[in-house]
Amino acid sequence: MTIRPRKHFGQHWLKSEIVLEQIVDAARIEKNDRILEIGPGTGILTKRLLECSEGVTAVEIDRDLCERLARSLGKKSNFLLLQGDFLTLDLEQCLEKFPAFRPLNKVVANIPYNITSPILEKLLGSIVQPQRTTYESIVLLIQKEVAGRLCAIPSTKAYGALSIRIQYLAAVEWICDVSSRAFSPPPEVDSAVVRLTPRTYPKPLPNPKKLNTLIDLGFASRRKMLRNNLKSQVDPEKLSQILEQLNINPLSRAEDLSLDQWIDLCHQITE
């Protein structure tokens, strides 16, 4: 039976076996893994994950799909299905009653593209409040353009505030491109698989809010030099001196600074 996809839930069913294998390979699943899947949909990925892991906890918002999943996969003892909105669900609390599924150590999902940023924030936290996570890796199928921004390196068009925010919290790797033909119905945009490895950043920040503000202001007008964009935070002459001390061209724009350079700058401005 085919199930009619609901646009507002970002439903596009993956149909390519090749992409499925690429996702599963990227997650490097081991027998004792306890996996979180967001948006199992009709269960194509779920089924594969259940075959090779200790447990799969899947969170699906659509009640009709949940009923269908319960019928098709409900008998499997290593499957836990939670009906609800992943963004508001208290996962820790839900799992209290199911110790066999804890702790979750990997995330593998083909997520709804319209809520990619909030999903990332829920999984990783933010610069100001990094999430204490048990996830060793997070493999996601997302919109290609967003994947490009997550992986971007300095001085490229895709490199921006999102790149820095996410790269501060996790190492990001591009796994593969995915054509819109791999889905039914095909989304209007191309897709890609990425792997995020959460990190405890080695250099704790003296003032995480400051880094957030600097990045926001720095990228507010991309074409302007940092010394102009950061005027409200630091005197332009002083900033030029700081940049020189850090071996950074004082005429740099926000997009020219690497994550480590942003962190160094934040240290200098806060001191």
**What crossing angle do the helices spanning 259-270 and 208-220 adopt, rounded to 10°?**
120
Both structure tokens of 14:
């993956």
- DSSP label of 182: G
- Look up residue 220 and give its amino acid: A
Q: Does 62 bind ligand SAH (CB under 6 A)?
A: yes
Q: Does 13 bind ligand SAH (CB under 6 A)?
A: yes
Q: Does 251 bind ligand SAH (CB under 6 A)?
A: no
Length of the chain: 271
* CA distance linking residue 244 with residue 271, whole number of Å: 16
Cβ distance to ligand SAH smaller for residue 145 or 260? 145
- Please report which residue ranges of 152-258 form alpha helices under DSSP H: 161-169, 208-220, 226-229, 236-245
Residue nearest to ligand SAH (CB): 39
Query: Least distance in Å: CB of 59 to ligand SAH?
Result: 5
Q: Which residues pair with 260 in a beta bridge?
A: none
Question: With contact defined as beta carbons under 8 Å apart, do 217 and 233 qualify?
Answer: yes
Query: Least distance in Å: CB of 236 to ligand SAH?
Result: 44
Cβ distance to ligand SAH smaller for residue 11 or 163? 11
* CA distance linking residue 193 with residue 137, whole number of Å: 13
Query: Least distance in Å: CB of 119 to ligand SAH?
Result: 8
What is the contact mask toward ligand SAH in residues 79 to 118, using x (rule: CB under 6 A)?
Answer: ------xxx----------------------x-x--x---
Query: Least distance in Å: CB of 82 to ligand SAH?
Result: 9
Q: Does 174 bind ligand SAH (CB under 6 A)?
A: no
Cβ distance to ligand SAH smaller for residue 16 or 268? 16
Q: Does 60 bind ligand SAH (CB under 6 A)?
A: yes
What is the contact mask toward ligand SAH in residues 20 to 59, using x (rule: CB under 6 A)?
Answer: ------------------xxxxx-xx-------------x
What backbone torsions phi and psi does residue 260 show, to the nearest 5 degrees? Answer: -60, -35
Query: Least distance in Å: CB of 140 to ligand SAH?
Result: 11
| Cα-based torsion angle of the residue sequence 169, 48, 41, 84 in order, rounded to the nearest 10 degrees | -60
Task: Report, in this order, helix, strand and coil percent for the chain, each rounded to 5.
Answer: 45, 20, 40
Using CB under 6 A, count the residues that bind ligand SAH.
Answer: 24
Interface residues with ligand SAH (CB under 6 A) are 9-14, 38-42, 44-45, 59-62, 65, 85-87, 110, 112, 115
